[in-house]
Structure 1
Amino acid sequence: MSDRAPYASDPEQSRGRLYSTGPSPTRSEYQRDRDRIIHSTAFRRLQHKTQVFLHHDGKHYRNRLTHTLEVSQIARSMARALRLDEDLAEAVALSHDLGHTPFGHAGERVLHAKMAGMGGFDHNVQAMRVVTRLENRYAEHDGLNLTWETLEGILKHNGPLTNADGSPFGKYASEGLPAGVSDIPASQDLQISTHASLEAQTAAIADDVAYNAHDIDDALRAGLITLRDMIDVPLVGPIVREVLELYPDIASNRQAHEVQRRLITRSIEDVIATTSAEIATSGVKTSDDVRHAGKTLVRFSNAMAKAERGLKLFLFQRVYRHDAVMGPVRQSEAVVAGLFERYTDTLDMPGRWGIDVAAAQGDVAQARIIADFIAGMTDPYALDEYARLFDARPDFR
């Protein structure tokens, strides 16, 4: 990338990999990370993991894989406009959900509750376990052996984990740091009290842009809301009014797509303009300056951030807590809880997992292996295992 800004991440200055590899004549280090992620088993599993609506319902709802691809596209577009390393932004975006459980956040909530007192369950840390330990394809090492910068971006998806004094920061302030943070194989210390690179910050906000737009689209497809329900909703309301005025007579699915594309475009343009100003006023000159800037530089404008919170509140109240969503959620929570409890009682796990859990020393070590196994399941596999163990299969329809 010849036009890379001085504060962008430079693959030639990467802090490297835990295990050394020979140079590639055709790919940068971050391109190699991207390729390793795409070819991983965990990445393929995303196609059968729930985003919001269970994929069994059909109707072309997003799953974790399609969501991840949308995040990747948005992150790459913003990185290009900001003169960052597009490949690192893409690699972080492609890997950000590798630690998610089956059945979306429902499965994560159950595992977190079951692991209470044992470090809990955190999908960002679980993604780190996937890419550093659980993927077992390579001849010479476990994990994908990603660069320091990609690992940093995965771990700091929500920002720093601690304050400078080591006390838990942000969402970890109330519960403490999740298990495994201090035991992540990497080439150097991941500096959990600092911010991530601009590329990682870009991938993180691309996540918000993507799911705001596609959750609206999926909710419209499901019939949970209509466009007119959103006329007065912050952020999206003005766009809905604009589209209905311009195209009052076209099919509703075309109107919905027009709203979605305009929402994505305006969100991206707002982030680019706001971030460009933040970079300029912050005075950062290098990627390390970004890490020690003391704040997130890639962000929405204040006005859009406030409107985006209003949109999220609407989606929470009208979509995420809708009976049509919560019914399957409760059933899927029961599936994950049932699997965890049965595996804990019997250690009846297939293949190498059964061998590993039987050999583990102590309840905590066994519980972590059980959580690893369940977290890696696709929705269909979780249901198959539930049927095997309980001779019953929930019907989400």
Structure 2
Amino acid sequence: MAKQLGEIGFGYRPRARYACNPARSRGRLFSEPESPTRTPFQRDRDRIIHSTAFRRLKHKTQVFIAHEGDHYRTRLTHTIEVAQIARALARALRCDEDLAEAVALVHDFGHTPFGHTGEDALNEKMAAWGGFDHNAQSLRVVTRLERRYAEFDGLNLTWEALEGLVKHNGPLLDANGRSLAGDVPKSILDYCERQDLELDRYASLEAQCAAIADDIAYNTHDIDDGLRAGLLTLDMLEEVQLPASILKATRRRYPNLDDVRTGHELMRRQITIMVEDVIRTATARLAMLQPRRVADIHNAPTAIVAFSDELAPAERELKAFLYKNIYRHDEVMRVRAGAEQIVLELFDAYFADPNEMPEGWHEGLDHALDRVRARHVADFIAGMTDTYAIKEHQRLFDHTPELG
């Protein structure tokens, strides 16, 4: 195996012809002079890192409420881990590392406070006005809500970065323009009228690297957080194919290793197995497809960057295990119920009286249409950190659920 992976290559190699070439970027919605020192994709990455939305990820929940402990992952630490894995994959597959990193760094910008709980609550409140989708919200953040530049709203990212953000999990429409999985959010369709992101085609190889890096990161690190929180034990993981095989090999080699170090050994070995499997699978698919340009990746009949047929069932089993034993654990569900109450009640309070929102958010909403007011309130709440949402609820209500 080591020889095979060495042949694939982890060192520097020239960019492949099927990779996104920053010198041939499709550009930005608003034209800007090029930088003499950075490629367009490097500028995208830098703009993302320096944005307000990126800093907010520090205090947004991944699975556990942030104040439960300093060692649990937040959206920010998760994002950094995803970016590292995405760059490793992009390097091995000879595509643009900077673009892969940029898509990885921006992929969670639209997440609400309290993770998917907050998203579900906002989606419920926004049901009459197009719903709420974190991926569509990420696009709103980088094209409208970030206000850092004199000449335009948003970050004015390249077409390739925006395409990767919107389609990193695959096409949203089929060749006939029909939705592939539920209605495409209106904000995405509206933006595509200004700049067509080609929703019926696969995203770049770089975006696909970012997408699967997200799966690898949370499949592994949620185990780490679950062990730390006491929701999981190593014995429980022996019932799940992938971690069980790793634990068996680890204990055979290190029979006296303590549980903490055994857990860390599990984490790093699982990441390695998944990353190497993806590289082998993607390399084989590239060899079959023989792409000679970026368009060949966009027009491919399936995703290129994926788990193998052998690993994919084990990865799905692991996801199901984590869903049952962590995401739906009684204690996590108790916290989720309180977090949901906070978001629902904040929405009602701001919708009833927009002046409860700070300056810069409430102006002009007193007589606005309900759909305009509702979307504005959703934008405000979605941008909150967990800690700010709790403080706002404490300001507006006599009793705030205890999330600790």
Q: Which bin holds the TM-score, normalised by the shorter protein?
A: over 0.9
Structure 2 Cα separation of the partners of residues 202 and 357 of structure 1: 41
CA separation in 1, counterparts of 2:309 and 2:125? 38
Q: Which residue type is aligned with residue 271 of structure 1?
A: V
Q: Hey, what's the Cα distance between the residues in 2 that align with 1:269 and 1:123?
A: 29
Residue of structure 2 in register with 1:51 after alignment: 62
Match of 2:220 in 1: 213
Q: How does 1:1-397 map to 2 (within 5 A)?
A: 3-170=14-181, 172=182, 176-184=183-191, 188-347=195-354, 348-358=356-366, 361-397=368-404
Q: Could you tell me how far 1:370 is from its partner in structure 2?
A: 0.6
Quickly say closer, same or farther: Cα 1:238–1:117, change in 2 above 3 A. same
Read off the aligned partner of 1:108 and give its amino acid letter: E
The separation in 1 between residues aligned to 2:179 and 2:164, in whole angstroms, is 18
Deviation by residue 1:370-392 (Cα, 9 ceiling, x = unmatched): 10000000001101111111133
What is the alpha-carbon distance in structure 2 between the residues aligned to residue 178 and residue 189 of structure 1? 15
1:358 deviation in Å?
Answer: 3.0
1:332-360 CA-to-partner distances (Å, cap 9, x unmatched) read 0010001111111222211111115336x
Secondary structure at the counterpart of residue 358 of structure 1: coil
Given residue 351 of structure 1, which amino acid in structure 2 is its aligned partner?
A: E
Against the structure 1 CA distance between its residues 2 and 257, is the aligned structure 2 distance closer, same or farther, given a 3 Å change threshold?
Answer: closer
Distance in 1 of aligned mates of 2:228 and 2:110: 27
Q: Which moves more between the two structures, 14-23 or 239-248?
A: 239-248
CA contact (8 A) 2:251 2:257 kept: no
Cα distance in 2, alignment partners of residues 366 and 13 from structure 1 = 40
Q: Which amino acid aligns with 1:349?
A: M
Displacement after TM superposition at 1:24 (Å): 1.3
The letter of the residue matching 1:225 is: L
What is the TM-score with the length of structure 1 in the denominator? 0.96
* SS of aligned partner of 1:53: coil
Report the CA distance between 1:11 and its aligned residue.
Answer: 0.3
TM-score, normalised with respect to structure 2 = 0.95
Answer yes or no: is the 8 Å Cα contact 1:356–1:369 preserved in 2: no
Q: C-alpha separation between the residues in 1 aligned to 2:198 and 2:400?
A: 45
Shift of 1:59: 4.7
Q: Give the C-alpha shift of residue 52 in structure 1.
A: 0.4
CA distance in structure 2 between the partners assigned to 1:251 and 1:240 by the alignment: 12
Unaligned runs of 5+ in 1: none
Q: 2:4: which partner in 1?
A: none
- Range with bigger deviation, 15-24 or 39-48: 15-24
Give 1:325 deviation, angstroms.
1.0
Runs of at least 5 residues in structure 2 that lack an aligned partner in the other structure: 1-11
Q: Is the 8 A contact 1:232 1:238 kept in 2?
A: no
CA contact (8 A) 2:168 2:208 kept: yes
Range that drifts further, 215-224 or 14-23: 14-23
Cα distance in 2 for partners of 1:49, 1:385 equals 15
Q: How far apart in 1 are the matches of 2:202 and 2:305?
A: 11
Deviation (angstroms), 1:72: 0.1
Distance in 1, matches of 2:304 and 2:63, equals: 29
The percentage of counterpart residues that share the same residue type is 56
Once the two structures are superposed, what CA deviation does each residue of 1:283-311 show, in whole Å capped at 9, x if it has no partner? 32111111111211110001111100000
Partner SS, residue 354 of structure 1:
coil
Amino acid corresponding to residue 280 of structure 2 in structure 1: A
C-alpha offsets along residues 170-200 of structure 1, whole Å, 9 cap, x if unaligned?
Answer: 3x2xxx1222122227973110111100000
**Aligned pairs, how many?**
392
Equivalent AA in structure 1 for residue 394 of structure 2: A
- The separation in 1 between residues aligned to 2:303 and 2:143, in whole angstroms, is 26
CA apart distance, 1:396: 1.4
CA distance in 1, matches of 2:26, 2:62: 33
Q: Structure 1 residues 131-140 or 340-349, which shifts more?
A: 340-349
Task: Determine the C-alpha separation between the residues in 1 that align with 2:180 and 2:127.
Answer: 19
- Following the alignment from structure 1 to structure 2, what is the Cα–Cα distance between the partners of residues 229 and 201? 32
